[in-house]
Structure 1
Amino acid sequence: MKLKFFKTIIIAFFFNQMNAQSIARVENIKIHSKTLNQEREILIYTPVDYDWRVNECFNVIYVFDSQNREFFDYTNSIVSFLPNNGKSFIVVGITSPFIEEIDYGRNNDFLPVLATDESIKRYGKYSGNAGNFVNYVESEVIPYINSNYRTLNQNIAVGHSLGASFILYSLIKKPNLFQNYIAISPNLAYDDDKLSKELIYLDYTKINNQTFIYISNADEGIEYWKEWKPARDRVYSFFKDSLKNKNITVEIAEFPNNNHLNTFPPSLNNALQFYFKNIQKNQDSELSKEKFEVTIRVKVSEKGDIVYITGNQPNLGDWNPNKNEMKKISELEREIVLKIQSPAQFKFTKGSWETELQVVGTYNNVIIKPEMKKEFEFEIAVDK
């Protein structure tokens, strides 16, 4: 079955490339943020053939500091080349540009209100708006993406330096905003180790779903920024020795031969490889507790076709290819009514994996979110 499926993907991929139906693209979207009272720009990468793959949904990677396009471009470029990843992602770049008219910069977004004289002297007026910024991400950016793109529930936040500090701050303030955190060289020491202390004393029972936290460092704290090392050592020790929560997986990586900036590529590669190998499959298996009744119809190519549906949960047959036979409602239509959990992933067969049917608008599993509507219609691709 796997070999046949792989061949189908390759054939379909090159067929669509030759016919130039669509390409990967990056869109620039402007949002007038009520939360920030500013106009902001986000970047949205959609994978190749996103427009054709209308019956597939995608997890989302949110990349902070994307006014520096290197972070955004590297992330959406590298994902497809890493091992153990069989999926495509939507990548969203969240920008924090300097706004000259109001003298507002990225540190305003990433730093909360500061308390110590030393921090106030160091960062000055470029701080204090992290609370509003996390609200902007929660109430405006993520809802926009979920409303306008076919998204799944497992998102990833990627940040570097104070961007990494911010995504850990968001974990503290809104523990279920993201499911995965890739914090590359975060500053844990600002404002008298404020962030490191809050991470240690956070009530991690507030995290509802399986969550992955990745933290890395370069050579910070050795030759420069000496205060960074003791702050991160305390956090590392807590995560390694004290945190006991079955919902949380923590991976720590150190790159002492890299400097603060050039640690981004190896850290991101390492984090995503760990995620693909150890986290993704488990998170993908998470389903909603609630079941939704839906009607699923499929248009077939032959009048006599007997069609089965099989998928990722008991009511879909748990990937048994001949358990759920669909009802014939016309010569070329088959239908089934089921109560299923979200997100539902499934395929159609004629009773075995050797007779798996390819659905128009997907290379992989059909994916639906049954909470969105009650009826879904599909069409079997005709071999040419």
Structure 2
Amino acid sequence: MKNIIIYMLYSFYSLTIMSQEISIYSKTLDQDRKISMQLPTNYAGSELSYPTIYVFDGNILFDYVVGLYRYNWDLYPPAIIIGIHQVDRPKELGTSKEFTSFFLNELVPFIDKKYRTNTLKTAIGHSFGGAFVLNSCLESAEINTVISISPTVKKKGIDLIKKFKDHQEFSSNKEIYLGYGEQDYPSIMKACDTLHQIIENEHPNRINTRLDIYSQEDHNSSILIGIRKGLKYLYRNLFMPESKWEFLEKKDDPTIFYDHFKELSIFYGGEILAGEDDYNRLGYYYLNSNNIKKSLEIFKNNIRLYPHSSNTYDSFAEALEKANLNQEAISYYKKAIMVEKSTENDLYQLKYLESNYNRALQKSD
């Protein structure tokens, strides 16, 4: 479904990403534009919809973002990563209304139509690009998360401080991450500080914002640490925090789980479902509480959402085994082994799955 935001957590080895490079003709710019793309693993065999991340200066920064995804698999939900190559950077990321129109009115609709995207759309930019993504956030309700590093907030033809101050009301909730190096240009640091205060003071109900200052970094070096910290900030609540899990178990109250994702759904204007690991942990909560019927329901739904994970089949099999449905458990343990061999092929995981399978076989004798 279009408005359902679904997140998955895979192991490092399952993060092999399908890459492609496409060319899009822009009527607005009257030229072909090069776009780099990375699709999540198992995209073709899945029915899930994914967040989109638009990276400006994509000819430089695209590979870096992809690399971050590979190394920080436990922090980020799988996403469609799009690198936008600049042709005339100062013009395009400066005051060009045409390039803004290309991005918002041509590229974003094209990606949404051709690929399975959801409502979480992130734009990443640095310097001129940092200002461009902030302006895009103002111009479009769809761009709802922004990473803007060392933005040229005030420049010829645009004053983002004034634009944010004068903006009456945002029609959608947004998250804006700002950052710069402590050795950046004084004018950029001062303007960025002012903009952050304006956003906090003028739009506290619609925009969550954070400003970080990076020790010993300058204008150019700030982008690398900024993207990493920005993604961590934007995705901080997409997986259930450990503190909430501890509270849930202490209070023996599973509504804490459902309320967490309900609140996220309200904020982003589309249903946010838990990731594989969160659903799995909820299933074991019910299983350990001897609510086997509910645990089977949760584990089965996890298989439906994440059929490429051996762990979803293994957990469902364990619940079946506890319900004394050994033949069905054997079938799902066998399926878990088959899935593991066809995807990650982790020898440690295979040994664990085979041990569970053999235990169930012995019970059935």
TM-score for the superposition, normalised by structure 1: 0.61
CA deviation string 1:4-31 (max 9, x = no partner) = xxxx976xx97xx7xxxx9522211101
Could you tell me which of 157, 182, 189 is aligned with 2:123?
157
Tell me the CA shift for residue 170 of structure 1: 1.4
Name 1:346's counterpart in structure 2.
none
Name 1:187's counterpart in structure 2.
152
The CA distance in 2 between the partners of 1:64 and 1:247, in whole Å, is 25
The CA distance in 2 between the partners of 1:362 and 1:253, in whole Å, is 39
Tell me the CA shift for residue 156 of structure 1: 0.7
- Over the aligned positions, Cα root-mean-square deviation in angstroms equals 3.6
Name 1:228's counterpart in structure 2.
188
Aligned residue pair count: 270
Name 1:212's counterpart in structure 2.
175
Residue 220 to residue 188, structure 1, CA distance change in 2 (3 Å): farther
Tell me the CA shift for residue 191 of structure 1: 2.5
Q: Spell out the pairing of 1:48-87 with structure 2 (5 A cutoff).
A: 48-52=41-45, 54-68=46-60, 71-82=61-72, 85=75, 87=77
Do the aligned residues in 1 keep the contact of 2:119 with 2:142 (CA within 8 Å)? no
Tell me the CA shift for residue 94 of structure 1: 1.2
SS at match of 2:119: coil
The CA distance in 2 between the partners of 1:144 and 1:359, in whole Å, is 28
Letter in 1 for 2:295: W
SS at match of 2:235: helix
Tell me the CA shift for residue 149 of structure 1: 1.4
Do the aligned residues in 1 keep the contact of 2:153 with 2:159 (CA within 8 Å)? yes
Could you tell me which of 28, 41, 46 is aligned with 1:35?
28
Could you tell me which of 189, 198, 216 is aligned with 1:238?
198
TM-score for the superposition, normalised by structure 2: 0.64
Do the aligned residues in 1 keep the contact of 2:196 with 2:209 (CA within 8 Å)? no
Q: Spell out the pairing of 1:1-384 with structure 2 (5 A cutoff).
A: 23-52=16-45, 54-68=46-60, 71-82=61-72, 85=75, 87-97=77-87, 105-112=88-95, 129=96, 131-174=97-140, 176-191=141-156, 194-203=159-168, 205-208=169-172, 210-219=173-182, 225-240=185-200, 242-278=201-237, 285-286=265-266, 351-354=293-296, 356-357=299-300, 358-359=303-304, 362-363=307-308, 383=335
The CA distance in 1 between the partners of 2:163 and 2:147, in whole Å, is 18
SS at match of 1:51: coil
The CA distance in 1 between the partners of 2:230 and 2:81, in whole Å, is 16
Among all aligned residue pairs of Structure 1 and Structure 2, give the percentage whose two residues are the same amino acid.
20
SS at match of 1:178: coil
SS at match of 2:86: coil
Letter in 1 for 2:130: A
The CA distance in 2 between the partners of 1:243 and 1:279, in whole Å, is 26
Do the aligned residues in 2 keep the contact of 1:44 with 1:92 (CA within 8 Å)? yes
Residue 219 to residue 289, structure 1, CA distance change in 2 (3 Å): closer
Tell me the CA shift for residue 262 of structure 1: 1.4
Letter in 1 for 2:102: Y
Unaligned regions of 5+ residues in structure 2, if any?
1-8, 241-260, 275-281, 284-291, 313-330, 339-365
The structure in which a higher percent of residues are helix is 2
Name 2:341's counterpart in structure 1.
none
Residue 245 to residue 253, structure 1, CA distance change in 2 (3 Å): same
Residue 173 to residue 193, structure 1, CA distance change in 2 (3 Å): closer
SS at match of 1:31: strand
